Amino acid sequence: MTAISLTGLTKVYPGDVTALDTLDLEIRDGEFFALLGPSGCGKTTLLRTIAGLESATGGTVAIGERDVTALPPGRRDVAMVFQDYALFPHMTVRDNIGYPLKIKKAPAARRSAKAAEVAAELGLDGYLARRPGQLSGGQQQRVALARAMACHPSVFLFDEPLSNLDARLRLEARTFLKRLQRELGVTTVFVTHDQAEALALADRIAVLEAGRIRQLGTPTEIYRRPANTFVASFIGSTPMNLLPGTVRGAWVRVGDALLPGPMGTEAGALPEGAEVVYGIRPEYLRYTAQHAADVPGALPGRVTVIENLGSTQLLTLDPVAGGPPLQVTVPEDLPVTVGEPGYALPRPERVLIYRDG
Ligand code: ADP
Ligand code: MG
């Protein structure tokens, strides 16, 4: 059983930089857990503090049943894969993979056998005698992974391990990593600034901002119901539209338009006249060129940009009444021209209302 339990974890660097701010987090046994957030939010610091490469300023780290807060990295039974892989350039792939076993004073024959076994699992059989410089980026990434696997740690810690791969390789490696984690069942903490990567890989995600967790949930929960405008604007291939508005009964006034409030119980909980942020993803807006003037539910605007995304088009619509432009996803074959007037209609069941922005 290898859950990870962080309690009140705080890290203050010299110069009074608070990288982790009294953070509480339970990562479950066998879970693929993603730490997601913008650059500088404390992801690497959190991972390094779990690994023991940074000491905590306050709070505790428990791995399994053990409080490891005061233990050195070598005694925590974790393996970390770094963003730049940190392979030894002068060593062969065999020696790189076997290195953790060398630290543990395993005999050479056993190191070599283990390296060959793990290399075979990761499709690196033919490369054992090469040096890292003679491998592609994707292969180097697998060597780093193999090295992490070599001594069967209880926990994998990955710091943006796919970020140095080009787009296609990154997708391949992502699928590979997910399958491998499923097979091994090892508790995994995966750091990324890429929301798509986190959504695709993780069982659960913690979204971080400035050393604090802004939301914790499954990919579906975080995508469907971002808890605040920070998470809302961070998750999604195109950011959510966030429009300032005012509550009017079951509707929200945005500019001159009345847009449907959210369906369900929350609508009634919003006080009349409250200033809110109206959240709707581009893919949950419908676009039409024609709309009856006296029927509410549509925001009038003018198409100013059309982006071809392959299977869809992304329209930018400047509202007639002013305010921030909004983005609308439409089918690839919808005829639309720059400059035409049109309307965006929210799907009420996908509307989110925020009062934090
Ligand atoms: P992330 O990995 O999310 O980009 P980091 O954990 O690297 O974030 O950094 C979090 C914050 O701590 C940043 O403000 C960063 O500048 C600061 N920081 C990181 N490492 C150090 C260090 N060794 N000394 C001082 N400040 C640091
Ligand atoms: Mg980092």
324-349 pLDDT, tens digit each? 999 999 999 999 999 999 999 999 99
Say how far apart CA 208 and CA 20 lie, in whole Å: 10
Which residue has 């990154």 as its token pair? 170
pLDDT at 206: 98
Domain(s) of CATH 2.40.50.140: residues in the chain: 241-354
Q: Please give the Cα distance from 165 to 288 (Å, whole number).
A: 40
> Residue 356: which pLDDT band, with cuts at 50, 70 and 90?
confident
What are the structure tokens assigned to 52, written together? 């023991």
The pair of three-digit structure tokens given for residue 247, joined into one six-digit string: 């509550």
Output the CA 321–ligand 1 centroid distance in Å: 43
* Per-residue pLDDT tens over the stretch 269-326: 678 899 999 999 999 999 999 988 888 999 999 999 999 999 999 999 999 998 899 9
The pLDDT value given to residue 271? 85
Residue (of 9, 5, 351, 66) closest to 208 by Cα position: 9
- The minimum-distance atom of ligand 1 relative to the CA of 160 is 2
Each residue's pLDDT tens digit, 94-140:
999 999 888 888 899 988 998 999 898 888 889 999 999 999 988 99
Q: How far is the CA of 209 from the centre of ligand 1 (A)?
A: 12
Closest C-alpha among 354, 207, 204 to residue 266: 354
ipTM over 0.95: yes
Atom of ligand 1 nearest to the CA of 46: 6
- For the CA of 159, the closest atom of ligand 1 is 2
Atom of ligand 1 nearest to the CA of 14: 25
Q: Is 129 helix (H, G, I), strand (E, B) or coil?
A: coil
| 325 closest CA partner among 282, 286, 290, 357 | 282
> CA-CA distance, 51 to 80, in Å (whole number)?
7
41 C-alpha vs ligand 1 centroid, how far in Å?
8
- Asked if residue 265 has pLDDT above 70, the reply is no
- Angle (CA) 289 290 293, round 5°: 130
What's the rounded Cα separation, in Å, for the pair 202 and 220? Answer: 10
**What pLDDT, in 10s, does the model give residues 205-238?**
999 999 999 999 999 999 999 999 999 999 988 8
**Whole-number pLDDT of residue 319:** 96
Distance of alpha carbon 5 from alpha carbon 64, whole angstroms? 8
Over residues 138-192, the pLDDT tens digits come to 899 899 999 999 888 999 999 998 888 888 888 888 998 999 899 999 999 999 9
CATH T-level topology, domain 4-234 = Rossmann fold (3.40.50)
For ligand 1, residues with CB inside 6 Å are 13, 15, 17, 19, 37, 39-45
Domain topology for 241-354: OB fold (Dihydrolipoamide Acetyltransferase, E2P) (2.40.50)
Residue 264 is predicted with a pLDDT of 55
- The number of beta carbons lying within 10 Å of the beta carbon of residue 181 is 20
Q: Delimit the CATH 3.40.50.300 region(s) of the chain.
A: 4-234
Residue identifier of the C-alpha nearest atom 22 of ligand 1: 13
Ligand found nearest the CA of 159: 2
User: Does residue 87 sit in helix, strand or coil?
Assistant: coil
pLDDT of residue 267 exceeding 50 = no
Diameter of the chain measured on Cα atoms? 82
What does each C-alpha distance from 274 to 90, 135, 227, 249 come to in angstroms? 64, 59, 18, 10
Q: What angle do CA 176, 166, 118 make, to 5 degrees?
A: 35
Give, in order, the Cα–Cα distances in Å from 150 to each of 42, 67, 175: 28, 24, 21
pLDDT in the model for residue 234: 93
Residue nearest to atom 26 of ligand 1 (CA): 13
Task: Show the CA angle centred on residue 91, arms to residues 90 and 94, nearest 5°.
Answer: 160
**Angle at which helices 167-184 and 137-149 pack, to 10 degrees?**
20
Residues sharing a CB contact under 8 Å with residue 257, sequence separation 6 or more, in sequence order = 296, 298, 299, 300, 319, 321
pTM equals 0.91
Atom of ligand 1 nearest to the CA of 39: 4
- Quick one: tokens of 126? 């033919």
Q: What is the mean pLDDT of residues 33-56?
A: 97
The residue contributing the CA closest to ligand 1 atom 15 is 40
- CA of residue 242 to ligand 1 center, whole Å: 29
